[in-house]
């Protein structure tokens, strides 16, 4: 792929690159290139590119309006290859590295993978940064610089073991510490009322002052016309409050406690799906990045437009809140405007409301964030007053002429039952609320947020998620990308809709053969990686059937395991059963405290051990669990996949994004009618996807009817389903580290909340039909290429264009 950046070139040619690279080695390490380790060489290369990025003047922002995307998570993944692609200098750098005697791939592999996010939500934020920069939007990220990212996962005796993620060990070459831009954030203390000449105001006195120090990462858009900024905050003590007495008494830990207390705030990333909220430190994180971000934005607005233009704030600034973690943006913006800028209360609310928008990412009731009022008020006494007053006015202004208004008010108030309900806080302070797929937005409107929707339907809109096609096809899949560029050129990297041109090649036998070769190369690459990381040997002639995502009951990795066990049993007991040889590949992390999810990981590894070591079946089926799922390993897995497992129960997965990444790489979806699977189905047509299982209405009806009974399903079929359930506890799978009583209990004692048994038969049949079709290689490859050709819609460029037009009201 050639030059995407036109006149803004970093290196004239390969020789210029080599000369600059050699020179940078001497400047950075005072050593010659040849004397450096590969890790050091990577550092110099990344530092060189990062420096150039920082010094690039922003060439064009299509609109003056600034967007700030507030997110507690930005799951960036490795950056070097992405920068090279966006600058259009991959070919030059690759050739230069070869001349220097190394491969670019090897240098790229040295980069740490910053895991500053849990999964889909954090990766979405990173994709949005890429797209905002590509589209010339003045869009910046605001988040947290965690000292330790999401834990590193190792597997011991089949079990997940969590290890510290010391991602800053070798430094992070893309960031710059901006000490001069630090701001103070106040926690605790008490509120004092002041009055003078009939005017009154409040101050927050005492408590702790924390210094928030920003680290900036330049975000270069495709073509390098736009450089935006990701600002990540780190917490430090506001002053060196060294405890001299303690020090003199030899109590060194106490002497420096002020420092560790402050730094604790940005020390770790919280897992999002363990129900571990209610932690004071998490609330501090949420407030710190909100307050520090807002203070900075207001300061720069004041510098640009003057001290009395606050009424225009919403015309020039949009603040987007990624889920409810930044929900304090509303009351905190009001607090700063009212207390520091002396803006009138009503105007301050109007400004906040005009500026702020909110994306909801889940309808799972246990996932909706709530904080005890007591904790909240004690930590943030002044900000809380704004919540309380807005809640009071909301109640007062609530229409009393609708039937059942008391219940509707109870559902939508911010404060209830001793808690601050963050979703309601977000909705009330925002001018726009969106869901992340058509189905999900429908559920928000009809159920989760229905009482809000009935009051203000125009506030609600859908923005189906998207992914960076540049990273997840361009960077991740060089073999297929090259093939695509050969036939339709490079335009698709800028405009993913151009992938539709691949439609012309769906019936071209030589193109389909080339596709199969590219896929074979990707499968080999993944098989090598799997051998190195898990010791499992895969046969690349097998179908690669992939389920990679966080482990959660609703995502039903367990259903997939049940299918594998059923296939295993049937191969053994029925000589006529001869399914297409398949490699089942899993990867993903479970939250530390989520024991059910961790047991499912152990189950997969136990099944892997049983199956892979059983010569009666292991030429038919193999199972691999790839440890430590992260953006970098994901980029090896997606390209090699042939079946994309998207099997959450209908109505549970808000959107999913691995479904899009896999589809784009030519995998066929085997999925329920859930999240964005519905839209994938619409785009590719029913003959190019395999949909199975209960629909949302059926799930609702089954639950509402109260007639679902797991034991009935068990008793009805002791041969297949019953046998699989028994195998959880009869010793069949106990060799690695014991039986699986708790999983069996979840199904048979808790009556199978996630409907694994209910969807079992339709799922296994759907899988059999799908792999049955694999024998027709031409037909399969046709469907795979068709999936890629229709995947342009899922570029996050499209998603961001929609946010820009409908929510932020800017030109892109
Ligand atoms: C959190 C929790 C916490 C308590 C236990 C149950 C539970 C279930 C789900 C979650 C997820 C929280 C928010 C989140 O990460 N949502 C994900 O956002 C992605 C980007 O929009 C989307 O593709 C995923 O479908 C959605 O789960």
Q: What's the pLDDT tens digit per position in 95-104? A: 999 999 999 9
**Residues 6 or more apart in contact with residue 490 via CB below 8 angstroms:** 1, 2, 4
Q: Is the dihedral of CA 525, 528, 533, 536 positive or negative?
A: positive
Strands (E) located in 348-472: 356-359, 370-372, 415-416, 419-421, 432-435, 460-462
434 CA to centre of ligand 1 in angstroms: 15
273 CA to centre of ligand 1 in angstroms: 7
218 CA to centre of ligand 1 in angstroms: 28
Q: What is the mean pLDDT of residues 524-532?
A: 98
Q: Determine contact, residues 210/121, Cβ cutoff 8 Å.
A: no
Indicate the top mutation candidate among 75, 128, 269, 361 to test ligand 1's pocket, ranked by most ligand atoms within 8 A of CB.
Answer: 361
Assigned token pair, 79: 């950056």
| Alpha-carbon torsion, ordered 174, 177, 178, 179, to 10 deg | 180
Query: How would you classify the pairing of strands 356-359 and 317-322?
Result: parallel
- Cα gap 624→622, rounded to integer Å: 7
> pLDDT grade, residue 252 (50/70/90)?
confident
Q: Determine contact, residues 361/654, Cβ cutoff 8 Å.
A: yes
Q: Determine contact, residues 756/556, Cβ cutoff 8 Å.
A: yes
Q: Determine contact, residues 516/555, Cβ cutoff 8 Å.
A: no
Indicate the top mutation candidate among 654, 662, 680, 796 to test ligand 1's pocket, ranked by most ligand atoms within 8 A of CB.
Answer: 654
The per-residue b/e assignment along 764-802, b for 16 or more CB within 10 angstroms, e otherwise, is: bebbbebbeebeeeeebbbbbbbbbbbbbbbbbbbbbbb
DSSP category for residue 101? T
Q: Which residues are catalytic?
A: 361, 549-550, 555, 657, 661
Atom of ligand 1 nearest to the CA of 440: 25
Asked whether residue 242 carries a pLDDT value surpassing 80, the answer given is: no
Q: Provide the β-strand partners of residue 53.
A: none
Q: What does the pLDDT read at residue 278?
A: 55
Atom of ligand 1 nearest to the CA of 653: 25
From residue 653, give the alpha-carbon distance in Å to each of 273, 545, 555, 610, 696: 13, 20, 7, 31, 11
From residue 258, give the alpha-carbon distance in Å to each of 148, 209, 237, 238, 376: 20, 11, 7, 9, 22
Which residues are near ligand 1 (CB < 6 Å)?
119-121, 124, 272-273, 275, 323, 361-362, 364, 366-367, 436, 465, 653-657, 675
Assigned token pair, 66: 């600034």
701 CA to centre of ligand 1 in angstroms: 23
351 CA to centre of ligand 1 in angstroms: 30
Residue 510 CB burial class (10 angstroms; 0-12, 13-18, ≥19)? exposed
Indicate the top mutation candidate among 120, 123, 124, 672 to test ligand 1's pocket, ranked by most ligand atoms within 8 A of CB.
Answer: 120
Q: What is the mean pLDDT of residues 284-308?
A: 97
The residue with tokens 């299509």 is 62
Point out the least confidently predicted range of 53-62, 521-530, 579-588: 53-62
For the segment 325-334, what is each residue's pLDDT rounded down to a tens digit? 999 999 999 9
276 CA to centre of ligand 1 in angstroms: 14
Q: Nearest residue CA, atom 1 of ligand 1?
A: 273
The widest CA-to-CA distance across the chain, in whole angstroms, is 94
Q: Nearest residue CA, atom 24 of ligand 1?
A: 656
- Cα gap 692→763, rounded to integer Å: 6
Assigned token pair, 274: 């363990």
Q: What does the pLDDT read at residue 66?
A: 97
Residue 715 CB neighbours (<10 A): 11
Atom of ligand 1 nearest to the CA of 594: 5
Q: What is the mean pLDDT of residues 768-796?
A: 98
Atom of ligand 1 nearest to the CA of 657: 23
Q: Nearest residue CA, atom 15 of ligand 1?
A: 121
Q: What does the pLDDT read at residue 276?
A: 53
633 CA to centre of ligand 1 in angstroms: 21
Q: For 400, left (φ over 0), alpha (ψ -120 to 50), or beta?
A: alpha
Q: What does the pLDDT read at residue 274?
A: 60
Q: Determine contact, residues 89/339, Cβ cutoff 8 Å.
A: no
Q: Determine contact, residues 491/653, Cβ cutoff 8 Å.
A: no
Alpha helices in 413-555 (DSSP H): 422-429, 438-443, 450-455, 469, 478-488, 491-494, 509-534
Q: What does the pLDDT read at residue 259?
A: 87
For the segment 622-661, what is each residue's pLDDT rounded down to a tens digit? 999 999 999 999 999 999 999 999 999 999 999 999 999 9
Asked whether residue 6 carries a pLDDT value surpassing 80, the answer given is: no
74 CA to centre of ligand 1 in angstroms: 15
Q: Determine contact, residues 118/73, Cβ cutoff 8 Å.
A: yes
Asked whether residue 810 carries a pLDDT value surpassing 60, the answer given is: yes
- Cα gap 618→613, rounded to integer Å: 7
435 CA to centre of ligand 1 in angstroms: 12
Atom of ligand 1 nearest to the CA of 654: 25
Asked whether residue 127 carries a pLDDT value surpassing 60, the answer given is: yes
Atom of ligand 1 nearest to the CA of 120: 19
Half-sphere exposure of 295 (CA within 13 A, CB side): 19
Q: What does the pLDDT read at residue 2?
A: 41
**Which domains does the chain show, CATH number per domain?**
16-55+79-109 (no CATH), 120-465+801-807 (3.40.50.2000), 469-706+717-722+756-794 (3.40.50.2000)
> Chain-centre distance of CA 567, in angstroms?
33
- Cα gap 567→577, rounded to integer Å: 9
Q: What is the mean pLDDT of residues 540-556?
A: 98
441 CA to centre of ligand 1 in angstroms: 14
H or E segment and range at residue 227: strand 227-237
Percent of the chain with pLDDT over 90: 91
Q: What is the mean pLDDT of residues 510-527?
A: 98
Q: What is the mean pLDDT of residues 715-733?
A: 97
Q: What is the mean pLDDT of residues 132-161?
A: 97
478 CA to centre of ligand 1 in angstroms: 31
Q: Is the pTM of this model over 0.95?
A: yes
> pLDDT grade, residue 719 (50/70/90)?
very high
Q: Is the dihedral of CA 131, 136, 141, 145 positive or negative?
A: positive
Helix 38-55 and helix 14-29, axial crossing angle in degrees, nearest 10: 110
Q: What is the mean pLDDT of residues 597-624?
A: 97
Asked whether residue 251 carries a pLDDT value surpassing 70, the answer given is: yes
> Chain-centre distance of CA 363, in angstroms?
16
> pLDDT grade, residue 7 (50/70/90)?
very low
Residue 666's SS3 state is: coil
Assigned token pair, 40: 């050091």
Q: Determine contact, residues 312/305, Cβ cutoff 8 Å.
A: yes
Comparing 308 with 796, which gets the higher pLDDT? 796
Q: What does the pLDDT read at residue 544?
A: 98
Asked whether residue 8 carries a pLDDT value surpassing 70, the answer given is: no
For the segment 409-445, what is each residue's pLDDT rounded down to a tens digit? 999 999 999 999 999 999 999 999 999 999 999 999 9
DSSP category for residue 310? G
Q: Determine contact, residues 523/541, Cβ cutoff 8 Å.
A: no
The per-residue b/e assignment along 215-253, b for 16 or more CB within 10 angstroms, e otherwise, is: bbbbbbbbbbbbbbbbbbbbbbbbeebeeeeeeeeeeee
Residue 234's SS3 state is: strand
Q: What does the pLDDT read at residue 1?
A: 45
229 CA to centre of ligand 1 in angstroms: 26
Asked whether residue 793 carries a pLDDT value surpassing 80, the answer given is: yes
Query: How would you classify the pairing of strands 370-372 and 419-421?
Result: antiparallel
Atom of ligand 1 nearest to the CA of 118: 15
Q: Provide the β-strand partners of residue 320.
A: 69, 357
Asked whether residue 60 carries a pLDDT value surpassing 70, the answer given is: no
Q: Provide the β-strand partners of residue 215.
A: 177, 232
Indicate the top mutation candidate among 270, 279, 362, 680 to test ligand 1's pocket, ranked by most ligand atoms within 8 A of CB.
Answer: 362
Point out the least confidently predicted range of 12-26, 51-65, 409-423, 737-751: 51-65
Q: Provide the β-strand partners of residue 587.
A: 548, 626
- Cα gap 343→358, rounded to integer Å: 24
H or E segment and range at residue 632: helix 631-640
The residue with tokens 């058509």 is 438
H or E segment and range at residue 142: strand 139-144
Q: What is the mean pLDDT of the chain?
A: 95
Atom of ligand 1 nearest to the CA of 123: 20
């Amino acid at each position: 792929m050639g030059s995407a950046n036109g006149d803004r070139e970093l290196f004239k040619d390969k020789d210029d690159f080599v000369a600059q690279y050699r020179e940078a080695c001497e400047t950075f390490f005072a050593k010659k290139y040849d004397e450096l380790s590969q890790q050091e060489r990577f550092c110099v290369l990344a530092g060189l590119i990062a420096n150039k990025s920082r010094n690039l003047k922003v060439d064009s922002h299509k609109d003056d309006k600034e967007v700030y995307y507030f997110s507690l998570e930005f799951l960036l993944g490795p950056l070097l290859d992405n920068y090279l692609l966006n600058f259009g200098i991959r070919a030059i750098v690759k050739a230069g590295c070869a001349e220097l005697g190394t491969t670019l791939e090897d240098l790229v592999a040295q980069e740490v993978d910053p895991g500053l996010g849990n999964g889909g939500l954090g990766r979405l934020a990173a994709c949005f940064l890429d797209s905002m920069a590509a589209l010339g939007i003045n869009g910046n990220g605001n988040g947290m610089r965690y000292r330790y990212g999401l834990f590193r996962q190792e597997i011991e005796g089949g079990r997940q073991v969590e290890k510290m993620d010391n991602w800053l060990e070798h430094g992070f070459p893309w960031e710059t510490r901006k000490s001069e831009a630090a701001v103070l954030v106040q926690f605790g203390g008490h509120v004092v009322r002041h009055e003078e000449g009939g005017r009154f105001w409040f101050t927050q006195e005492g408590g702790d002052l924390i210094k928030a120090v920003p680290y900036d990462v330049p975000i270069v858009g495709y073509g390098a016309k736009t450089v935006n900024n990701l600002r990540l905050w780190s917490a430090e003590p506001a002053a060196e409050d060294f405890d001299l007495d303690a020090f003199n008494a030899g109590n060194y830990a106490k002497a420096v406690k002020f420092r560790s207390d402050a730094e604790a705030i940005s020390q770790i990333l919280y897992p999002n799906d363990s129900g571990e909220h209610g932690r004071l430190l998490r609330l501090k994180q949420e407030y710190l990045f909100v307050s520090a971000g807002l203070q900075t934005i207001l300061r720069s607005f004041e510098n640009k437009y003057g001290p009395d233009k606050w009424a225009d704030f919403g015309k020039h600034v949009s603040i987007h809140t990624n889920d409810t973690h930044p929900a304090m943006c509303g009351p905190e913006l009001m607090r700063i405007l009212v207390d520091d800028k002396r803006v009138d209360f009503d105007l301050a609310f109007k400004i906040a409301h005009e500026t702020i928008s909110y994306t909801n990412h889940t309808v799972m009731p246990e996932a909706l964030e709530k904080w005890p009022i007591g904790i909240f008020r004690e930590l943030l006494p002044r900000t809380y007053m704004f919540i309380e007053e807005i809640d009071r006015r909301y109640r007062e202004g609530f229409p009393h002429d609708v039937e059942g208004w008391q219940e509707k008010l109870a559902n939508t108030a911010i404060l209830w039952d001793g808690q601050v309900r963050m979703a309601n806080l977000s909705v009330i302070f925002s001018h726009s609320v969106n869901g992340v797929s058509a189905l999900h937005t429908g559920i928000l409107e009809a159920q989760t947020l229905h009482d809000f929707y009935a009051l203000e339907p125009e506030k609600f809109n859908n923005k189906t998620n998207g992914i960076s096609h540049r990273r997840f096809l361009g960077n991740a899949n060089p073999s297929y990308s090259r093939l695509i560029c050969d036939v339709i050129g490079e335009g698709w990297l800028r405009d993913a809709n151009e992938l539709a041109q691949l439609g012309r090649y769906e019936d071209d036998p030589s193109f389909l053969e080339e596709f199969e070769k590219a896929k074979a190369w990707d499968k080999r690459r993944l098989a090598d990686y799997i051998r190195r990381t898990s010791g499992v040997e895969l046969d690349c002639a097998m179908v690669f059937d992939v389920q990679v995502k966080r482990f959660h009951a609703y995502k039903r990795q367990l259903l997939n395991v049940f299918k594998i066990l059923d296939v295993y049993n049937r191969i053994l007991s029925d000589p006529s059963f001869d399914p297409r040889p398949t490699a089942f590949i899993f990867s993903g992390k479970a939250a530390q405290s989520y024991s059910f999810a961790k047991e499912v990981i152990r189950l997969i590894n136990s099944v892997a051990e049983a199956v892979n070591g059983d010569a009666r079946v292991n030429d038919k089926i193999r199972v691999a669990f790839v440890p430590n799922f992260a953006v970098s390993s994901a980029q090896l897995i997606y390209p090699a996949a042939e079946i994309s497992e998207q099997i959450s129960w209908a109505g549970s997965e808000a959107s999913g994004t691995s479904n899009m990444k896999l589809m784009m790489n030519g995998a066929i979806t085997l999925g329920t009618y859930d999240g964005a699977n519905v839209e994938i189905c619409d785009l590719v047509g029913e003959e190019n996807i395999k949909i199975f299982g209960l629909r949302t209405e059926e799930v609702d009806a089954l639950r509402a009817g109260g007639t679902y009974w797991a034991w009935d399903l068990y008793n009805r079929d002791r041969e297949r389903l019953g046998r699989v359930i028994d195998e959880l506890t009869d010793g069949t799978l106990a060799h690695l580290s014991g039986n699986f009583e708790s999983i069996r209990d979840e199904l048979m004692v808790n009556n199978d909340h996630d409907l694994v048994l209910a969807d079992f038969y339709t799922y296994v049949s759907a899988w059999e039909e799908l792999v049955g079709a694999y024998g027709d290689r031409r037909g399969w490859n046709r469907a795979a290429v068709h999936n890629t050709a229709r995947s342009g819609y899922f570029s996050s460029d499209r998603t961001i264009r929609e946010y820009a037009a409908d929510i932020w009201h800017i030109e892109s």
